[in-house]
Structure 1
Amino acid sequence: MNSQIDYEAVFHALPGMVALLTPDLVYADANKDFERLAGRTREQLVGRYIFDVFPENPNDPAATGMRETEASMLRVVATGERDTMALVRYDIEDPERPGLWEEHYWSPVNAPVLAPDGRVTLIVHRVEEITELLRARDGLDSGSRARVLQTDLYTRSRELQEVNERLRQAHAHEREVALALQEAMLPVPSPVGHHQAAVRYQPATRTLNVCGDWYDLADLPGDSIAVAVGDVVGHGLAAACVMGQLRSALSAACRIAEGPARALEALGLYARFVEGAESTTAATVFIDWDRHTLTYSSAGHPPPAVLHPDGTVTFLDQATDPPLGARVDHVPRPQARAPFTEGATLILYTDGLIERRHEDIDTGLARLAASLTRHRGAAPEALADAILSDLLPPSGTTDDIALVVIRL
């Protein structure tokens, strides 16, 4: 995302009437076209209840615009889904001539803005003023014009619904195929000697797409293994295919490289020739049980965690480098080493476990550390389940999660 874009300026420059309302139906903002076409200033809108600003026409006993608009917005708040209204007549009082109501026809759409936990924080209220279009229907009275246009809009709405349903089915099928591909490429790992290990792959629950998260465990000479997790940017089948290529390449590199840094260097060189692999993150740890050491390197990935027997948690964050493909020239990656005591636990994970929109990453890391400390006596299988239970919001996530837990 380009951080230099002034999204406030973009919002006010949007063509057509767009307003933001709170779940209590109070105006939070409105763009320039909304102010102009509604005949209300910003001061007359922001902070005020929508139906205090635009009450129903008291001279029209059959008016239903206010009731229908309120019902649509409350549906959005309750369901978290977009609601497209049928053509509605909603007269507006002239602000300069109180008591004079002007006939208006609108085509509204209300859409939710969701918080990370799935709650609706704002309603995007977009309306098209189509009064003049109705008046252009020469030879028809206002009621007939409304019925004709409403029929046109209903037909178009049904066509759009059919297109959206076909797209939804296509996305759902792609998700099923991508999930099957993920499962085929992320099998339950073989036992790591006499050491206990647990792995989890949790697909996103609040999106039709799956992502490119992966994990891997590879045997090394002696009483050692390499463990890795990674995250491909993107979603769907394309990301799943890129994930498969990178996972295999890193697994092979770990078996022949002198350490995790050299393995990630090899992966970075390979990723340059894989379309869609740019900006992939990965973390790799070589576990040496003979020497009781963890040698690690990270390519833009959240730091692995070590849960010590006394319940304290440290993060392996002393060898962090940019993601794959972030540099034009090849540069050696950093590597660090940390000792461990018997009974400690190593945890690797992808960012979906800790990151939440509009929240600092340190908050997510602290949440993970607290969960690990709380369950410090648990075996890897139980600990993996407890971590997911503690950290995943009840409404689910929009990002996949890969998790590896190894008793050291």
Structure 2
Amino acid sequence: MLAKFKKHIKRKFPELVGKPFLLACSGGVDSIVLAHLCHHTELDFAIGHCNFQLRGEESDIDEIFVKDLAFELSKSFFSTRFETMDYIAKNKVSVQLAARELRYQWFAEVMQENHIEILMTAHQADDNLETFMINLSRGTGIDGLTGIPEKTDTVARPLLPFTRSQILEYAKVENLAWREDNSNSDTKYLRNKIRHEIVPKLKELHPTFLENFKNTQQYITGTSKLAVLYIDQIRKTVFQREDGIIRISVASVLKLEPLDAHLFALFKGYGFTEWNDVKSLLTAMSGKEVRSKTHRMVKDRDFLLLAEIKEENTKDYYISNDVGEIHTPIHLRISQVLHVKETSKNVLYVAKETLKYPLTLRKWQKGDYFYPLGMKGKKKVSKFFKDEKMDSISKEKQWLLCSGDAIVWVVGKRADERFKVVDNTCEIVKFELNT
């Protein structure tokens, strides 16, 4: 196994050779074998151990055991203790999820503090099968069936090609000691139930079941990569990105077949899970929206508008007459000039004597109106937005520059006639929007 491991590291993980990494070690057979394999491969690593304090004295013995291993291998040792039950009560999560969140957050902190870029974990082939079964039982797309990734930008899992039986055999041949966690045999946990009751039955179906499963998962992974390339091409055709908003043609989406599969592939990366709601949005009235934890999707006429959810800035900002530049909520330069020069939507010239300080930057409100430059009479801002074909998200982001109760500028869109520079204007103020 050591020879295969060395070859595997050289072929798949060359970035680990000569570069320090953090090895997560619980004290169980998988992580103990991994530590010894890395040691005999002469890799440079430190050992990290988490004490979740869930098994009383047994947890403390695990910690001492791993610390002794680090000493034996002449490796740096990092450890921490968590108040796991308090975390579970506070966050209302399962034991397994709490342990995962706590340990990966701590590993990240240790790595940052010690300038370590890679975390190595001892996930192996049987873990991959168990994860596949868990995802399958809960309902999943193709990504949930591709298994645990062998590597990411920050995590390496070099034991994935090796089975639990191979790891146990190596440990016994090398006379390695390890710690047994009794909770791993408790079938009230889904993973343990699959490990002890379902996986053995599957392995009885064929003597090379696990090897066949690994091959099948490679095919699924390959198919998944092809699907990603296809969906990327669809996005390039259907998605139009502008000012942080993705505009998606409803008509283009409705042409995709099968529709449900395309919706899942196109929008799963934005956190959406209620697929009936997403599908209904295609035929909904304008203004209807669906939200995930991170994104919102709004129906706007013939388009879907997809944007990241951000805390909406609705407060008013005041500009005194001695201010030359502001950066919040928008970047605006303010100066006094002698003449009107270039004109554009991002530049406004105003007769200073028409202004009442402090000026106000605020969002539009129902009933707002202004006198659009070059037109006679007033116009509701809402009607102006409609004529400009502004979508609902852009309306929410739009700022108004006001003097008292009067709108001076729909910023970056249209000035107000009442504040324009005329022949007898004595002082001119220039506002320049930097986008």
Identify which of structures 1 and 2 has the higher relative contact order when contacts are C-alpha pairs closer than 8 Å and 6+ apart.
1
Question: Which has the larger share of strand?
Answer: 1
Same fold (TM over 0.5): no
Higher helix proportion: 2
